[in-house]
Amino acid sequence: MSSVEIAHLCKRYDSVTALDDVSIAFEDGEFFGLLGPSGSGKTTLLRALAGFVIPDSGTISFDGQRVENVPVHRREIGMVFQNYALFPHLTVNENIAFGLSVRGRPREETAKRVDAMLGLVRLEGLGERKPRQLSGGQQQRVALARALVIDPKILLLDEPLGALDRRLRQEMQVELREIQRSTGITAVFVTHDQEEALTLSDRIAIIDRGRLIQVGPPRDVYERPETVFAAQFLGDANLFQGIAEGDRLKLSGGQILHTNGPNTGSVVVRPEKIGVYPAGTAPATDNRLDGDILQAIFSGASVTYRVRVPALGETPLLAFLQNQAGDVLAPATRVSLAWSAAHTIPVAS
């Protein structure tokens, strides 16, 4: 398997900067997620790794060997696309064997490798079917097997589960992670699905307008976002802005929030960190604000409250509570909101 290093990578399309001085390394055997909005540059970065995009400047190295000018067919990469890109006229066996066939591998070796891949992706007995005879999840497994059969140095996945329905996508997330771990291959995948990025990745990179915003393990990036963009893109976040006073934040109405360290005037709090209590019953804690329920959104496992807080103006505060047998609070109910300074995270604008 391989480690991958990207240094100062730049790519422009006329007046649009797709990659802006991107430097990042993917460790051997790591499952790395590239996350960002449409047009952020994450797919351009993946395609540059594959060789479909030639950067204007910067370097790409596999195991210390530069490859930015090496053609696609010589990079030894496996690629899985969102639409699978299977050959409709070929059987499952023939689709998986395609990469070995064009490399001139002997038939006996090819047959053994195909059988091994069918076992790996749990498609034993389906080798003679055509893609149209398979479910979406099965087609995705064929595409994965075809990418892995050539024993690539790195596996690249472009929205690999985007064409699947929610339940199947969740099942395939687990299977994809197990397959990656069992093979030990270095994998880089693009997704716009925040939950998918958190579930699959050893580390993630949030990308916006061609620049890396934050890189780290999913829990670290989620719990300790460094910027307002990172906080609000990866999940929901309540933004508080005011006057910085060391590890305190003074809101426009004069209320004081205690923060997790010195701040520069902006902090975020995740909705699930906030407790919602009938007015006057909140426990003693670092931070507390009063407001009125605007809306209670019941989603089975949880309830999302939108709360009008005078200290925040027109922007409602969000709070997520697990559905634990208590009654759902009705709109217009007066409530107290309470949370810890440890969950009040300073961020850059």
pTM above 0.85, yes or no: yes
The CATH class for the domain spanning 236-346 reads: mainly beta
236-346 matches 4-227 in CATH topology = no
Digitized pLDDT (tens) for each residue of the chain, 349 residues in all: 588 999 999 999 999 999 999 999 999 999 999 999 999 999 999 999 999 999 999 999 999 999 998 999 889 899 998 788 899 999 999 999 998 988 888 889 999 999 999 999 999 999 999 999 998 889 988 999 999 999 999 999 998 887 777 788 888 888 889 889 999 999 999 988 888 899 899 999 999 999 999 999 999 999 999 999 999 999 899 999 999 999 999 998 899 999 999 999 999 999 999 999 999 888 889 999 999 999 999 888 889 999 999 878 888 999 999 887 677 889 999 999 999 999 999 999 8
Secondary-structure class of domain 4-227 per CATH = alpha beta
The residues spanned by each domain of the chain are 4-227, 236-346
Q: Which residue has the tokens 């496996």?
A: 78
Half-sphere exposure of 131 (CA within 13 A, CB side): 18
Q: Evaluate whether 129 touches 71 at the Cβ level (below 8 Å).
A: no
What are phi and psi for residue 139, nearest 5 degrees? Answer: -65, -40
The residues with which 314 forms a beta bridge, in sequence order, are none
